Amino acid sequence: MAVRYLAAGDRCVVAEFGKEIDAAVNKKVHQFNHIVKKRIKDGIVDTVPTYRSLLIHFDPAVFSFNRFVNELKDIEKTLDSAELPPSFIATVPVCYGGELGPDLEDMAGLTGLSVEEVVRIHTSVDYLIFCLGFTPGFPFLGGMDQRIAAPRLTNPRTHVPRGSVGIGGKQTGIYPQESPGGWRLLGRTPVKLFELREGDTPFFPLKPGNYIRFKPITLDEYHSIKEQVTQGEYQWDIKEYSAD
Amino acid sequence: MPTLKVVDKGFFTTAQDLGRYGYQQYGIPVSGAADNFAHCMANFLVGNEAEEATLEITMMGPRLEVLKDTLVGFAGFSLAPVINGQEVDSWASYKVYAGDKILFRRKQKKGLRFFMSVAGGIDVPLIMNSRSTYVRGAFGGFEGRNLMTGDVIDSGQYQPEDFIEREVDERQMPAVPSGGVVEVRVVMGTEEDYFTDRGIETFLNSVYQVSIQSDRMGYRFEGETIEHKETFQIISDGIAPGGIQVPGNGQPIVMLWDRHAIGGYTKIATVIFPDLDIFAQLVPGNNVKFKAVSTDEASRIAVAYSQRCSQTSVRLKSK
């Protein structure tokens, strides 16, 4: 499918690569994001990669809409030969079940699997981070095994604790902040997906185009990691990603 | 340097600058001054760059005590600043001295948000390259919240030669907000093809009223139902400033300063950035009509607006 360039007001362009959730389409978005920022040094204010499109904020004092789209089209021609920087995979420790994962038992019932199998399936996939958004640090993940898909709760919770890991329909995700929510909660992670560290430095362990893998931990480990996070001593396990 | 003391917080005042760009890819909203022109003018009036933070005052102003001699600037229509009991003009700056008292009188039906600057800028920490407050995320500005009684407002350094009273050239000023139907210019899309011809006609020819459910994140409108072809949902996509989402109820929502970076509703059109300043002044019950402009016209309006938002719109006081 040809890339569509759509005007979003007087200073934003959406480069649309498709209308589906697809890892290959998403990869093009991240490639394009990377080379556009590399090639256009002046006049780009910000970019927002999503599942299947890239929103680009440009400076209208530098480019008219038409000139900017022409620049993008030129860059698009080199897209297939564009190198992507390496991707990374971050391990997210999760304590499954019990008070921290109140819906795990129900999930086993709904899927016809044992509790152990649900956890094993959930922790055996490298999930692609298609994009982040909705709330600070919220990852939209792809790759979940559909054997553990389950409908959202008919009665959403008014308070889902920060770090809750859940399944809603065909998706799995992590709540970076306390919020209302209707996903079924399998467990909780003690780590933070967004924090301002000393000197107000932002820290985002998860980046669009990278991967995560969930790792089961015990309740004791949960509390020990939580303490390290509070003390600012927790070290994330983030490695270069290779597909095999 | 401690410069102002908050004697009474008023209603809702936050520190804002030009916005927090570069972090939308992590889901961080842009935030920033709701009325970009007024924010820029407030800064230029006291010799600051546009990047400095100002106070965005919503509805009712705070009462302030000056702790250190400085220059303060006022921009907006909704309030009348009062220095030591004497009402002074907005769109101008004033020398104030330690012990002076500043308060604001409300002017009815003349907008919602008002901007106040201090020479050197409001000195709050730079978080992700911005001083803007994002209250929902509890970061930026004054500890991520609105101003509280008892707060002390610090200001940055400034050059003594900038200690000069200035005023905004009235030819560059926006129209005074009125209670009539306000025209807002939009570029159609990005999902106009999700709407029927009748839906688009309804959108461009009806009057929409600002709903009570409106805030810095977005303004909801009530009016004629805008008809979709089939679905009102899309695979979540980036939201530009001024993006007009139309969910299943057919009522438009204009996404504004504290919007999410990504959303899953169809967007029929996008308000052009220069006209977002109008939204800063709209209150529930106000009426708007959306007018489509081409991308060429939008680009021309954007260039003219950038020129208006420059130092040249501010001059030394004429007397």
Q: Which of B31, B142, B234, B262 to mutate to test the interface with A (most CBs of A within 10 A)?
A: B262
Cβ A37 vs Cβ A75: under 8 Å: no
User: What band does A131 get if pLDDT is binned at 50, 70 and 90?
Assistant: very high
Dist CA A228 CA B6 (whole Å): 38
B260·A196 Cβ contact <8 A: no
Alpha helices in A40-162 (DSSP H): 65-77, 104-111, 115-122
A142 part of contact set with chain B, CB < 8 Å: no
CB burial of A43-63 (b: ≥16 within 10 Å; e: otherwise) equals bbbbbbbbbbbbbbbbebeeb
A139-144 long-range Cβ contacts below 8 angstroms, 24+ apart: A139/A173, A139/A174, A139/A193, A139/A206, A139/A212, A140/A51, A140/A171, A140/A173, A140/B236, A140/B262, A141/A171, A141/A172, A141/A173, A141/A212, A142/A21, A142/A23, A142/A26, A143/A23, A144/A170, A144/A171, A144/A172
pLDDT tens across A66-76, in order?
999 999 999 99
Chain B partners of A51 at a C-beta cutoff of 8 Å?
A: 235-237
Tell me what ipTM this predicted complex has.
0.96
Q: Looking at chain A, which residue has its C-alpha nearest residue B131? A: A200
Q: How far is A65 from chain B (nearest CA, A)?
A: 6
Please answer yes or no on whether A50 and B274 come within 8 Å at the CB atom: no
Domain boundaries, given as residue ranges, for chain A: 4-81, 88-240
Q: Does A174 touch chain B (CB under 8 A)?
A: no
Tokens (6 digits) for B91: 């769109």
Nearest by CB to residue A61, choosing from B25, B239, B303, is: B303
Chain B residues within an 8 Å CB radius of A178: none
| Domain covering A88-240, topology | Cyclophilin (2.40.100)
Interatomic CA distance for residues A1 and B193, integer angstroms = 17
Instruction: Give residue-wise pLDDT tens across range A79-108.
Output: 888 778 899 999 999 999 999 999 999 999
Q: Which of B24, B185, B234 is best to mutate for the A interface (most A CBs within 10 A)?
A: B24
Of A57, A59, A9, residue with least CA distance to B272: A9
Summarize the confidence of residues A170-176 as an average pLDDT: 92
Verify whether the Cβ–Cβ distance A135 to B242 is below 8 Å: no
Rounded to the nearest integer, the mean pLDDT of chain A is 94
CA closest to B136 among chain A residues = A135
In the three-class reduction of DSSP (H, G, I as helix; E, B as strand; rest coil), residue A47 is classed as strand
Cβ A6–B190 below 8 Å, yes or no? yes
Under 8 Å between Cβ of A212 and A93 = no
Q: Enumerate residues 16 to 75 of chain A having a beta carbon within 8 A of any beta carbon in chain B.
A: 16, 19-21, 45-55, 57, 60-61, 64-66
State the best of B24, B25, B194, B295 to mutate against chain A, taking most chain A CBs within 10 Å. Answer: B25
How far apart are the C-alpha atoms of A32 and A12, rounded to whole Å?
16
pLDDT at B31: 98
Compare CB distances from A9 to B234, B270, B303 and report the shortest one's residue: B270
Q: Are B48 and B117 in contact (CB under 8 A)?
A: yes
> What are the domain boundaries of chain B?
2-171, 181-308
In order along its 319 residues, chain B shows pLDDT tens digits of 999 999 999 999 999 999 999 999 999 999 999 999 999 999 999 999 999 999 999 999 999 999 999 999 999 999 999 999 999 999 999 999 999 999 999 987 789 999 999 999 999 999 999 999 999 999 999 999 999 999 999 999 887 777 899 999 999 999 888 878 999 999 999 999 999 999 999 999 999 999 999 999 999 999 999 999 999 989 989 999 999 999 999 999 999 999 999 998 999 999 999 999 999 999 999 999 999 999 999 999 999 999 999 999 999 997 6
A55/B239 Cβ within 8 A: yes
CB A122 within 8 A of CB A146: no
At residue B211, the pLDDT reads 96
- What is the CATH architecture assignment of B181-308? Beta Barrel (2.40)
| DSSP structure class, residue B131 | -
Pick the closest to residue B92 from B112, B68, B76 (CA basis): B76
Tell me if B187 and A7 make a contact (CB, 8 A cut-off). yes
Which of the listed CATH numbers 3.20.20.140, 2.30.300.10, 3.20.20.70, 3.30.1360.40 matches domain A4-81?
3.30.1360.40
B181-188 and B267-271 strand pairing: antiparallel
A160 in contact with chain B, both atoms CB, cutoff 8 A? no
Yes or no, beta carbons of A50 and B139 under 8 Å apart: no
According to the model, what pLDDT value does residue A243 have? 74
pLDDT band at residue A244, thresholds of 50, 70 and 90? low
pLDDT tens-digit series, residues A217-227: 999 999 999 99
